[in-house]
Each structure stands twice: as structure tokens, then as C-alpha cells.
A and B are shown apart, each in its own frame.
Chain A
Amino acid sequence: MVSIIRDLVEESRIFERNNNMKTLLLGNEAVARGLYEAGCRFVSAYPGTPSTEIAETVAKYAEIYAEWAPNEKVAAEAAIGASIGGARSFCAMKHVGLNVAADPLFTVSYTGVNGGLVIAVADDQGMHSSQNEQDSRHYAIASKVPMLEPADSAECLEYAKLAFDLSEQYDTPVLFRTCTRVAHSQSIVDLSDRVERALKPYEKNPAKYVMMPGNAKNRHPIVEERTKKLVDYAETSGINRVEMGDRSVGYVTAGICYQYLRECFPNASILKLGMVNPLPIQLIKDFAAQVDKLIVVEELDPVIETHLRANGIRVDGGKDLFGLCGELSQNKILNALDMQTPAYIDFGETVPPRPPTLCPGCPHRGLFYTLSKMGLTVSGDIGCYTLGSLPPLGALDTTICMGASISGLHGFNAVRGVESAKKSVAVIGDSTFMHSGITGLIDIVYNKGISTVLILDNSITGMTGHQQNPTTGKTLKGEPAPSVSIEKLCEAVGVKRVRVVDPYALAELKAAVSEELAAEEPSVIIARRPCILLPEVKIAPALYTDHDKCKGCRQCMTIGCPAISFADKKASIDPTLCVGCELCIQMCKFEAILKKEAN
């Protein structure tokens, strides 16, 4: 029987249908369609939920060059280069990815563009798949770059096209902010044909593109003038839309919050902001003058509210009602306003949570079991393997951001000494190592650290749903590509002890970790086995337990495999989940877990 985690049933993608028709698209697919229709020629991105499907969808359009970059900074810089080179260009990332790409953002604000340049950032209010819920609107304000915020898929498509027009008209990069509920909601869009844009001529112009102090000083006032012009646009263009209804309360809002509000109050007066930086002033003042009370509805930080207060506009409700944390919804808005919400059934008992888990057969499981059993301090990173933190494995001590496992361990051991280095490891995936792990490893070698680094090479970027990366030998478009050798890369930065182990072979793995911890020099262990969900990985027949031999010791339960359950003091294996990785066989001292004999 095939594992239920394998996608046997796949759907044909909607965007492959004809143009000029109404169709349901994910917000991310609609952004991709907008890029296509706008004549965009260059896309670079690093995967990150909830932004990933933009680049994956774009990759299917032959007219657009599209790539996975090793990280968001590279993606942004590549898109900047393509823009200077005369093409409409685009890069995409999740909110924390914009932290990585912040360096080029602040300076490309000064240089402006040649071909239009759009930078998409997907926020994750509620932290469905993220380590924080920072509000990316602050970046637009800080870098003095206009930011558009669509509220559904139709606006994703429309604003993507508009963003390029604004970029070229105002000589500025444009930030394009989505969130989980826009990026991962499907709604109806109208498709149009692509408008081809010829490459603009490139002319050498150091005063615009060489940002050394003498030139940058001349560019800064241009940026400030640009912002004034963009405020005029915000006041008059119609992208910020007033919908007058009941005048007892007026709501100022943007993005997904508009949808929640409209659902609650079909007849309310709403000022819907489509551009969240820079904000209009007169438009909001005029709106405020027409309503008795003014309430600002926004998720996370009081960006709109602060702007209103700074401009002397009376705000009768905002963050005092809605708070600073998490997502809003219809009922959260109604509750905040002290209004009635629908009745509902209460189950009345504790429902055990169902946190995500490492899949059955995941190559990371045996590794985390080993590290946990050895009692090591484990410096963690961002990826599927972050799930090694959950019970019963409970292996991780820290997770901060992409790449921090290695550099963080270096600092930890620098202050705690040699004995600490012999009891601690960093764990990082292949894609995350390419993203920003290598610089941390250089830090260890260069500064004479002795830390041990485990690179969990599962041949794919896993958590975001199987994207290629520089080590996998394939591009975003599925074409063969040169692959980075992790071994040679580690050797090249000066690590002398580099070895490869199979994380399914627990005894060998444990011996390797012990040896490398004992060595008083930097070492890298590459735990290499492909993700069990990759189509090319063969799945073995399900294992089964012999209840007569099972002594009920629960040793097999310590690896936290979802396929193994325990009832009436005996272990059982779910044949629809088990992929026959045999990790549990290595746990059982009583030979109670068995393989099906081949016929």
C-alpha cells in the first residue's frame, strides 16, 4: 500500500487554461499572472512560505526568465541588475527574507530603476509558517519606497501590473506586500494577454548607479522629492478608494482587513488603502470629516494609525481595540467592537493539539534521536528539521534565523570553551547552508573555533514544498544545472575533517558524531539521504509488529514516528503511513518489528 503522504492524485493547474476567462487563482498565482501580463522578463526568488508559489508559477511561462537564488539578498540584487539592464524585473521573498535583502533595498531606493522593479514581500500574520510576525510596512517607510497592498487575487494581478507602471513613472523600486490570507487564498480573476516590453537601452550613468558618497548625496534629495510626488498620487489616483455608506463610523483599512470589515459591515463607510506607503493626508482628512467616528483596522503594528495621529487626525479606535498580535477575522473585529458574533457548539473536552511532525521515513528522525540520546546541545536552523524540537525527540536548543545554527554555535562555544564544543553541534539543511550557512562556517575556521557542524542534506528545499537549490543539480525551470559539492565547499573554506554518513544507519552516525566532537578542530558531518517525499525515492513495503514478541517496552515510541502507535501494551504499525525505513527495527531489542518477506 502506498503511503498517504504521497501525492498520488495531482490536479491539473488552472492557469494552463485559456486566456480571457474568469478563473480561480491563488493570490500568488495571480501575482505571477500579473508579472506575465505586464511584460516582466526577469524573476529571482528564494522560497519562503507564503511567497513560494509566485516564482513556481512564473517558471511555467516560457517568456519569463525565472530562477531560485541562493538567498533573498542575491535575488534582490539580481533583479536590480536586470532592471538596470533594461528589463521589467521582479523578486519575491517572505517577510524575514526582506531582512536579508534589506541592504540592497535601501540603496536601490536611491538609484531608482531603468526597467520597472518590483519587490514582493509576503507577511505571515499569525505565524502559520514563520519564526516571527514582523510588519513589512516599516521597510517601505524606512527605505522610502512606495508599497502596494492587494486584498484579493484580482488585486494581486492588477497591482502587479500597476507596480511596474509606478516604478517606471516615478523611477523607484516598488514594494508589493501580501500576507498569508491573500497569498494562499483563491479568488476570481480575469486574465488578459501579455504585453511585450522591449528591453530599454542601457546607458552608463555613474551619477545614478554608482552609490558612493558624492553621488548618493545628490540622489537623496531626489528620493525625498519622489515621495512628495507619490503622496500626490496617493491623494488623487483612486488606488486609495472611499466607499461611503453609513456615516456613524468610518473605517480606514487596507489589504485583507478590508475583506473582513466588508463581510461584517456591508453598508459601512470605508476608506480602503491600496497603497500603504506613502499615505495620503488630505484624502483621510476629508473622509474623517464626513463620519462621526474614525476607526483604523490593521493587523500587527499601528502604521496607519500612527500616520493619522501624527497628522492631527482624530482616531476613535485602533490598536486599543484590535491589539498588536496575530491575525484579525470577522469575529475578532466584531468582538473588538463589542458586537454580537454567531452562536457555536463547544465540544467541551480538551482536544489534543496536532502539531506538524517529521514524516514517516524522514531522514532527520534518526539523526535527532541520536543527538537527543547523546545529550548534546543542538544549535538549530530553519527548515523541516526545526520539527526535531518537538516531543518526543526534543533535540533543539535554539532556532533564530536562516544560517544562525552555525554562527550561533561558534559564539556559544567561544564563550563556553572547549568542553562545550565537545558537547554541542549545529544542524542545518542543504538549502539553508547555501543560503547563509557557509559564512558562519568560515567564521568558525577563520577564528580557530572547533565546533562540529551537521549538514542535513536531503537533496531538496523541504519545508516550503520541494524547491530546487544550488546543490540539487536542477534549476527552478527543471533544467539540469551544475551542483555545488558541499564536501568540496567545506574543504575549500579550510575544514579538514569532512565526512558523509547515512542518517538511517544509527550506529555509524553515532560513532561519527562522537569522533568529530572529540576532534579539537572544526568538522563537518554531511548526513545525506534524500527526502522521503521526493518522487524518485523508492518506498519500501510497510513493516509490521509481531505482538507475541513485543514486550511493550515502548523503545520504538521514542523516535516519534507517526506510523507507530501503542495500544493494549503492544506497538502497532499503520500500513498506510509506514514507508519501511527500518529505523524502528534498530530500536527493538526483541526483534518484534518485521519486514514482509518478498514473494
Chain B
Amino acid sequence: MSQTKGIMIVGVGGQGTLLASRILGSVLLGQGFDVKMSEVHGMSQRGGSVVTYVKFGEKVYSPLVDQGEADYILAFERLEAARWISYLKTGGTLIVNDRRISPMPVITGALPYPDEIVEKLRASGAQIIASDALALAIEAGNPKSVNVVMIGILSALTDFSEAVWQQALTDCVKPKFLALNQKAFSLGRAYAQKSL
């Protein structure tokens, strides 16, 4: 296997995972890495389970992260964390927004929503940072900024300086929403620094 790092951003269609991956891509590109990112467009964006793969290193070939290959998984919802946990590398870290969004089979009563997902994942040996990213996003001024809160949490786990992340934010977000997103980023970053 070549020495590349993998990050996955998983969530529910409409949660803004694409913007999160673009900010991350901008940071990694700025650090001089080779970068590849694979996204999901089209049908599955309509409220379905969505995943973005981010790969970086000296030279990246496959844009996909496969089972057991992710250094970090950012899960925007806890059922999605359970769905994708098999992609986490041994020793990798799961960052999860500990919030429930019921999928249609649960809404219709066809299947139960598993309980105590985060506790079970922790018991399975995964390193986990769980947060209420939605509450932080609302504190920042808009529930839609969950994506940038999650990026803020990830930023605290990496070696890249805060300035690098701030620059990427400025490059990727419309000026009108920059202040809101800067606040969301800072709240996420501060939360992670407290949890570490």
C-alpha cells in the first residue's frame, strides 16, 4: 500500500458535506500535498446516505478510501457513523455529530434506529470525539453550519496551523457567510481542544 492518508466525510444528503470536503481539500492543497477527493452527486443527495472521500499524501492514486483505510471519519449523524465505521483504520479517529436523523425505514416503522450507537462504537475500540455539533452550529447563528463546526473539530487534531484553516475558509465560503462560518469553525475547534 502506498503511504497516503484518508479522510471520510459521511452524513445525510443536504447536510453540506461537499463544502466541508472543499475546505479540507483547499487546506491540503495549500500544504503541498497531492490530493484527490471523490464526491456523490445526483440521486443519493436527496436525503440519502452520502459519503465524500478525501485522500492526500506525496502521490495519491485511488480517490477512494476503502474498508480499514480511513485515518479520520467525520460523521455528521450517528447512524451514518455506524454505517461507515468499518472504513476506519486501526488507530483512526471517528468524529461524530451525536445527533439522530431517522431514515425512512425507521420513520415508517420497518426497522428500529439502533440505540446507544456512540457507546457501542467506543466499546468496539474506535477512538471517538462525539459532539453536539448542531447545538454549536445554532450557537454560531445557523444550524446549516454543522459542516464547518465539524471541520473546526478536525482542525484541532491536525498539525496544520489555525491560520491555514482560516485561509481555506475564506477561500471556500461566500463573503456574506464568512463571519458565521468563522464562528462555527472556532466553536468546533475550541470544543475539540477541550475534549483532547
Contact pattern, A 337-351, Cβ under 8 Å of B = 1, otherwise 0: 000011111111111
Whether A347 contacts B48 by the Cβ 8 Å rule is: no
Number of contacting residues on B, CB 8 A?
79
**Which residue of chain B lies nearest to A342 when distances are taken between CB atoms in the complex?**
B68
* A245 contacts the other chain (CB 8 A): no
Find chain A residues with CB under 8 A from B48 CB: 354-357
Determine whether A331 belongs to the interface, using a CB cutoff of 8 Å to chain B.
yes
Given A8-B177, A344-B67, check contact A560 B108 (CB 8 Å).
Answer: yes
A589 to B154, CA, bound (A): 48
A465 with B36: in contact, given A24-B29, A347-B82 (CB under 8 Å)?
no
Interface-central residue, B83, B104, B124, by most chain A CB under 10 Å: B104
Distance of B41 from chain A, by nearest CB (Å): 6
A343 near B174 with CB under 8 A, answer no
- Given known pairs A12-B174, A181-B38, the reply for A2 and B113 (CB within 8 Å) is no
B-binding segment of A159-167, A298-306, A370-378, A386-394: A386-394
Q: Are B62 and A562 within 8 A (Cβ)?
A: no
- Whether B42 contacts A263 by the Cβ 8 Å rule is no
Contacts of B19 in A (CB 8 A): 9, 11
Complex interface bits, A362-405 against B, C-beta within 8 A gives 1, otherwise 0:
00000000000000000000001001001110000000000000
Are B181 and A9 in contact, CB atoms less than 8 angstroms apart?
Answer: yes
Q: Does B98 contact A (CB under 8 A)?
A: no
Stretch at the interface among B87-95, B155-163, B186-194: B87-95
Contact B29–A22 (Cβ < 8 Å): yes
Residues of A within 8 A of B125 (CB): 345
- Chain A residues, Cβ within 8 Å of B144: 2, 4, 6, 8-9
A503 to B98, alpha carbons, bound, how many Å?
Answer: 36
Q: Are the CB atoms of B15 and A330 closer together than 8 Å?
A: no
* Contact status B142-A8, CB under 8 Å: yes
**Smallest beta-carbon distance B187→chain A, Å:** 15
Q: Within the assembled complex, what's the spacing in Å between the Cα atoms of A391 and B111?
A: 12
The answer to whether B64 touches A260 (Cβ under 8 A) is yes
Q: Which residue of chain A lies nearest to B144 when distances are taken between CB atoms in the complex?
A: A8
Give per-residue flags for B17-59: 1 if the beta carbon is below 8 A from chain A beta carbons, else 0.
Answer: 0110010011001000011111111111111110000000000
Given A49-B42, A358-B46, the answer on whether A152 and B68 have CB atoms closer than 8 Å is no
Interface residues of B in 64-90 (CB under 8 A from A): 64, 66-69, 79-80, 82-83, 85-90
Bound complex: CA of A344 vs CA of B126, how far in Å? 10
Return the CB mask of A105-136 against B: 1 if under 8 Å, else 0: 00000000000000000000000110000000
State whether B174 touches A24 (Cβ < 8 A).
no
Q: Which of B43, B61, B120, B147 contacts A263 (CB 8 A)?
A: B61
Cα-based distance from A356 to B40 in the complex (angstroms): 12
Q: How far is the CB of A361 from chain B (nearest CB, A)?
A: 12
Residues on B with C-beta less than 8 A from A6 are: 144
> A73 CB to closest chain B CB, in angstroms?
22
Asked whether A390 and B88 contact (CB < 8 A) given A9-B177, A259-B62, A464-B42, the answer is no
Residue contact B67 to A331, C-beta cutoff 8 Å: yes
**Do the beta carbons of B29 and A354 come within 8 Å of each other?**
no
A17 to B38 Cα, complex, angstroms = 21
Which residue of chain B has its CB nearest to the CB of A362? Answer: B46
- Given A12-B174, A330-B69, are A260 and B121 neighbors across the interface (CB < 8 Å)? no
> Bound complex: CA of A595 vs CA of B108, how far in Å?
24
Q: Are B107 and A353 in contact (CB-based, < 8 A)?
A: no
| CB atoms of B103 and A349 under 8 A apart | no
Q: Is the CB of B41 within 8 A of A129?
A: yes
Check: A576 CB closer than 8 A to any chain B CB: yes
CA distance A359 to B45 in the complex (A): 10
| A-chain residues with CB within 8 Å of residue B179 when the two chains form the complex | none
A352 at the interface (CB under 8 A from B): yes
Chain B 122-156 interface 0/1 with A at a Cβ cutoff of 8 Å (1 = within): 00111000000000000000111101100000000
- Is A52 interfacial (CB-CB < 8 Å)? yes
Interface flag for A10 (CB, 8 Å) = yes
**Do B103 and A353 touch (CB < 8 A)?**
yes
Task: Return A185 CB to nearest CB of chain B, in Å.
Answer: 4
Closest to B111 in A: A352
For A354, the chain B residues whose CB sits under 8 A away are 12, 47-49, 79-80, 83, 103-104
A349 and B82 form a contact (CB under 8 A):
yes
Task: Name the A residues within 8 Å of B60 (CB-CB).
Answer: 187
Chain B residue with Cβ nearest A260: B62
Contact assessment for B37 and A185 in the assembled complex, using a CB-CB cutoff below 8 Å: yes
In Å, the complex CA distance between A591 and B80 comes to 35
A24 partner, pick from B14, B37, B120, beta carbons under 8 A:
B37
Q: When A11-B173, A187-B35, A566-B109 are in contact, do A342 and B63 touch as well, CB less than 8 Å?
A: no
A185-B36, A557-B108 known; 6 new pairs, CB 8 Å cut-off, are: A26-B39, A186-B37, A260-B61, A347-B121, A352-B103, A387-B46
Return 20 A-B CB contacts under 8 Å, by A number.
Answer: A9-B19, A11-B172, A50-B42, A184-B39, A184-B41, A187-B37, A263-B4, A342-B67, A342-B69, A349-B82, A352-B111, A352-B113, A355-B104, A391-B105, A392-B108, A463-B42, A465-B41, A557-B107, A565-B102, A576-B143
> Which A positions have Cβ atoms within 8 angstroms of B?
1-2, 4-12, 22-24, 26, 49-50, 52-53, 128-129, 152, 181, 184-188, 258-260, 262-264, 266, 329-331, 341-359, 384, 387, 390-392, 463-465, 557, 560, 562, 564-566, 576
Nearest 7 A/B pairs, CB to CB? A342-B68, A49-B42, A129-B42, A356-B48, A354-B103, A356-B46, A344-B68
